[in-house]
Structures are given as structure tokens and as C-alpha cells.
Amino acid sequence: MRVIAGDGKGHRIAAPRGRDTRPTLDRVKESLFGIIQFEVPGSVVLDLFAGSGSLGIEALSRGARFAVFNDRSAECGKIIAENLKKLGYWDRAEVYRLDFRSALDRFAALNKRFDIAFLDPPYASNAAFDAALMLFEKGLLTDSAVVVAEHAAKTPFERAPGIFKVKSTRNYGDCALSLLERDGEK
């Protein structure tokens, strides 16, 4: 894996071993950042199911002001910290190793608010939907926040009436990216 653009362009980042994590493919990451490119500079980013931290690191490379990384795996937390230090982003980041629900509860207690949130849990879980609900319901997002959920293309991301709706979905082979926004309709 590598950083695609920005001041870290071309740098390789380490990823956890084994099959417990599924890194976002470079072509999907490149497309994603093409879509949200104008929201990234100066933003505060959450990479909730971070794995290697690839999405949050890409955002930092492209000018995000700060990034919060969370992954319940101790190995992932260690790798994220190493990647951040290697690229010189350690002073613009925080790394947590909590279950996503505990992490979101902690962020709410700390009054954190995010401009961009990346949700990329294992496809077989319903964690992206549950995390999106919590992000919107707990007030963890700024008014113009962008929430990106990566999920299996064969499983459409559902709307949560009155909470969030799917603004758009793009398919890339077996994976899909859905951009979520507040839903004012019930």
C-alpha cells in the first residue's frame, strides 16, 4: 500500500498481516479522494475501522488538519502509530484501540466533531450502518460532514429515515462506496 497524493505521495505504508483486515484498493482510494477532494484540506477526519490507517493517512497527506484513528486490534494500533511517525504525521493524529461503539461514546464525551468519517469494517458485519447511526445521533459530525461507508457491492447501504440517507453509491468490482448525509425527512 502507498500514499497516492499530497505531501506523502509515493510513500509505502505498512499493513497488518493476515486476513483480518482488508485494505482499500489503491484505485478505490484514488476514486474516493477524487470525489471528496475539496472537503479534505483543513478537515478533521475519523478513520473508525482504521486497519493500517490508509484512509486517514491519505487525508493527512492531502491537507487534513487532524485525524483520529481507531481500530480495536492492538496490532493495527501499533502499525498505525508506526505509519504516522514514519510519515511525520504523529503530531496531527490520535490513535485509539477500542470497539467502535466505545470509541464513538468516548468521542462524544470528549465533544469531538468530524468533517469526514471513513467507515470500512468487515463487510460481513453490520458495523458500518451501526457506526453511521451513532455518528449522526451523537452529534459527532459537523453540519457539512462527509461520511463514507465502504461495503460489499452486492449489499446496498440502507437509509435510516430521519437520521441519514445515501447521497450516492459507486461500485468498484466487489466493493462499493456510499456517501451518507443527514436526512431531514421521516
**Is position 10 within any domain?**
no
pTM check: above 0.85: yes
pLDDT at site 73: 93
Does 25 score more than 70 pLDDT? no
Q: How many separate domains does the chain show? A: 1
- Indicate whether 15 belongs to any domain: no
41 — pLDDT class (breaks 50, 70, 90): very high
Residue bearing the bigger pLDDT, 23 or 43: 43
In angstroms, the CA 179 to CA 145 distance is: 10
**Can you give the CATH number for the domain in which 176 is found?**
3.40.50.150
Q: What is the pLDDT of residue 15?
A: 82
Neighbour count for residue 162 (Cβ, 10 Å): 12
- Assess if residue 127 is contained within a domain: yes
User: Band of the pLDDT at 3, cuts 50, 70, 90?
Assistant: confident
- Of residues 25 and 73, more confidence is placed in 73
108 in any annotated domain = yes
At residue 160, does pLDDT exceed 60?
yes
Joined together, the cell numbers standing for residue 174 give 466487489
Q: Domain limits at 42?
A: 26-182
Q: Judge whether 13 lies within some domain.
A: no
Model confidence at 19, pLDDT cuts 50, 70, 90, reads very low
Query: Cell match 455518528: residue?
Result: 135
The sign of the CA dihedral 147, 151, 154, 160 is negative
Residue 2 within a domain: no
Question: Which residue has cell 447501504?
Answer: 157
Percentage of the chain exceeding pLDDT 90: 74
| Integer Cα distance of 45 and 1 in angstroms | 20
Which stretches of the chain are assigned E, i.e. beta strand?
Answer: 44-47, 66-70, 93-96, 114-119, 141-152, 164-172, 175-182
Cα Rg, the chain, nearest whole Å? 15
Is residue 51 included in any domain, yes or no?
yes
Mean pLDDT for the chain?
Answer: 91
185 — pLDDT class (breaks 50, 70, 90): low
Cα–Cα distance measured from residue 10 to residue 7, given in angstroms and rounded to the nearest whole number = 9
Band of pLDDT at residue 13, cut at 50, 70 and 90: confident
